[in-house]
Structure 1
């Protein structure tokens, strides 16, 4: 009887774990609360195991990580235009995301995974001014 109870507990706890993870939606928009060409939300704080779903609510957008602006050892991603993509960060830290066609217009966001501190000198030197301004505002809000 003990073995059956122990096995049942083990099965229930391992199959229930994915229920605790959340699926977060990020819309890629031509116009939103923060102006034109935005991700909403622009700053997303998630827990390890959570998933981010990027949805091209307006056509002509993609989502991809910005080179050099993800945690060391983490894998980046790059979606095609108008493609819905799931992103499951494997390492805690701060991930900068851009829409490639609208990067110069400031279409960027931050995904912070776990209990993170704002990294020093995170925003690279070659970041366009509008993107830099938004990224720095999101980092200040962390």
Structure 2
């Protein structure tokens, strides 16, 4: 079941677009506070289960976000969600790979035998996860700011996580990029390892 909510930000925008509409100060403040609260609540940890990233058409979806209101580069350029658990064989739709946003697999960390991913200039691109493992992605342009994500496919073992740690330590990545992968790997260990 899909529940449609009246978005306060859209309500404010509609009021300003309509020259005959009057929006009083109290209403404006209430709606602005509602929007800010929703943004804070949506901020969360960025960690998601597959059902948290499902779109209206039941497809898993990852967005690429540019948030100029963020106080840090990591928050400004990000995948949403940046950690996702899927079943083997599932497909994710990567959205908004336009402008300078891209989605690329990290070759040195990528599961053996799985085709690498290189997406750019696409409103939507589908990526399959054919075998168990940890799939690291980065934005080529914004990875240096920590714009990375991990997809955990299937039930990964503690050994697979340890092996990924070793590969990550040896990988030639920018400092923020590596730190972001380490943070996500820590979260994956806490939530998804068997």
Q: Distance in 2 between matches of 1:23 and 1:121?
A: 33
Structure 1 residue runs of 4 or more that deviate by more than 3 Å after TM superposition: none
Question: For structure 1, which segment, 69-78 or 58-67, has the greater mean C-alpha deviation from structure 2 after superposition?
Answer: 58-67
Higher relative contact order (CA closer than 8 Å, sequence separation 6+): 1
Structure 1 residue 55 displacement after superposition: 0.5
Q: Distance in 2 between matches of 1:44 and 1:139?
A: 11
Distance 1:120 1:130, change over 3 A: closer
Which residue does the alignment assign to 1:27? Answer: 63
Query: What does residue range 1-142 of structure 1 map to in structure 2 within 5 Å?
Result: 23-31=59-67, 35-56=75-96, 59-117=99-157, 118=161, 119-123=164-168, 124-142=170-188
Distance 1:62 1:26, change over 3 A: same
> Alignment partner of 1:35: what SS?
helix
Q: Distance in 2 between matches of 1:57 and 1:81?
A: 5
> Alignment partner of 2:108: what SS?
coil
Structure 1 residues without counterparts, runs of 5 or longer: 1-21
Structure 1 residue 44 displacement after superposition: 0.6
Q: Distance in 1 between matches of 2:121 and 2:98?
A: 11
Q: Distance in 1 between matches of 2:93 and 2:167?
A: 24
C-alpha contact 1:47 1:113 (8 A) present in aligned 2: yes
Structure 1 residue 128 displacement after superposition: 0.6
C-alpha contact 2:134 2:153 (8 A) present in aligned 1: yes
The structure whose Rg is larger is: 2
Q: Distance in 1 between matches of 2:98 and 2:113?
A: 32
Structure 1 residue 82 displacement after superposition: 4.3
